[in-house]
Amino acid sequence: MAQFAKPRGTADILPDQVLEWRAIEDEARRLFATYHYREIRTPIFEHTEVFQRGVGDTTDIVQKEMYTFMDRGDRSLTLRPEGTAGVVRAYVEEKQYGNTNTQKYFYFGPMFRYEKPQAGRFRQFYQYGVEVMGSNDPRVDAEVIGLADHFLRQMGIESFELHLNSVGCPICRASHKQQLIKHLEPVRDQLCKDCQSRFGKNTLRILDCKIDHNHPVVASAPAITDALCADCAHQFNEVKAYLDLMGISYQIDKTMVRGLDYYTQTAFEFVEGSIGAVSTILGGGRYNGLIEMLGGPDLPGIGFAGGVERLLLARSAQGVTKQEPDQIDVLVVAMGDQAIKTSVQILHELRKSGISADADYSAHSLKAQFKLADRLHARYVVLLGEDEVSAHQVSVRNLDTREQELMEQANLVDYLHVRLTNLS
């Protein structure tokens, strides 16, 4: 039994697993670049106020789930629980709004939340996301949702539903809040402790409560889409019209409000039903007041984020084939002390030329080293014994054809380059 174990809610991502992670990240970078999104990297911890103000101090994330600590300078810092607030902080601090009217970003990275681990949910988890800042054009909403749809399909996820709603603006919500309070007041004492504390402060969040979501009175609460102001109703209708033009199907979910306070107007989730307790694999929406809230100009924004772990679960549930393991070009097999010394030089020359190569460092027999070459999916084996060293030669075996050729050591790199290029 290991003396130390990883912390609860974390995972070791071993080399064979990393291959699929890397394939997802590589494909995401390629796809996001196709839509002209540029990568941004922000710190994994921020001043706590960034999340208190941005995410919302009445949310579960801020109240229950953040990893917050005091540093040696007596400053309160928090490991990032989500990506948007940090990206907006960077956008404001670095005055990116002065470069152009619209900035489009994507990111990858670890996030941290103290919550009960379950299928697809960890305390350290990895997210990918996109953000667009500076435009309130409903075409941007449709583009972001279309990119999310495209990404999931590119990842091999075909069976999912897009749930769509509008959570309005502060004007809409003020009117809707009064309707909600009047509707929920008779059952206020039946709601969970968290919802009772939200009552009157952030009443809309009651609709997002995991405990009370199915309460009959909550389920029958007035829909915010019926209380939208003229501007928000027009925005929402335009978004739906553009999605229709793009051929993207959706379901209107009038109770979906998302779990973060910064959302305004368009909100959406992509739901997949085969990954256990957590079915949302990607979600996002508009956050038109967040940039100003974090000290920037009054500019709009929209984005989405998804968890890599949930994406992997969905890929597995839908039978998406994992990526093939890495294949090395050459295994150098050396027998004898002098051959081993010469093999170090040969390995170095092969690698410098861009040929992936390795050697056995465990003093195995010749037969065992050939078995290692098969396990590593090597294309060629370079054989080096004392006789070859004395003659400045090497033997090269093609592991597909089993043909073997003796050549001058000085010609090895060029020989392999030609043949490996032909195999590509």
- Reported as a single tens digit per residue, the pLDDT across 207-238 is 766 676 677 777 777 888 888 999 999 999 99
Helix (H, G, I), strand (E, B) or coil at 10: coil
DSSP 198: H
Give me the residue spans of the domains in the chain: 15-169+229-317, 330-423
| Sequence letter at residue 138 | P
Per-residue model confidence as pLDDT tens digits over 352-396: 999 999 999 987 899 999 999 999 999 999 999 999 999 999 999
Q: How far is residue 221's CA from residue 230's CA, in Å, rounded to a whole number?
A: 21
Cβ pair 79, 112 in contact under 8 A: yes
This prediction's pTM? 0.88
| pLDDT at residue 1, as a whole number | 53
CB 224 within 8 A of CB 168: yes
Cα–Cα distance, 278 to 264 (Å, whole number)? 24
Closest CA to 152 of 11, 331, 275, 301: 275
* Closest-CA residue to 170 (of 296, 51, 261, 295): 261
Please tell me which of 52-61, 257-266, 315-324, 381-390 the model is most confident about, judged by mean pLDDT. Answer: 381-390
Strands (E), 154-238: 161-166
Residues 6 or more apart whose CB falls under 8 angstroms from that of 30 comprise none
Cβ atoms of 270 and 281 closer than 8 Å: yes
Looking at domain 15-169+229-317, its CATH class is alpha beta
Task: Tell me the CATH class for 330-423.
Answer: alpha beta
Whether the per-residue pLDDT at 119 is higher than 90: the answer is no
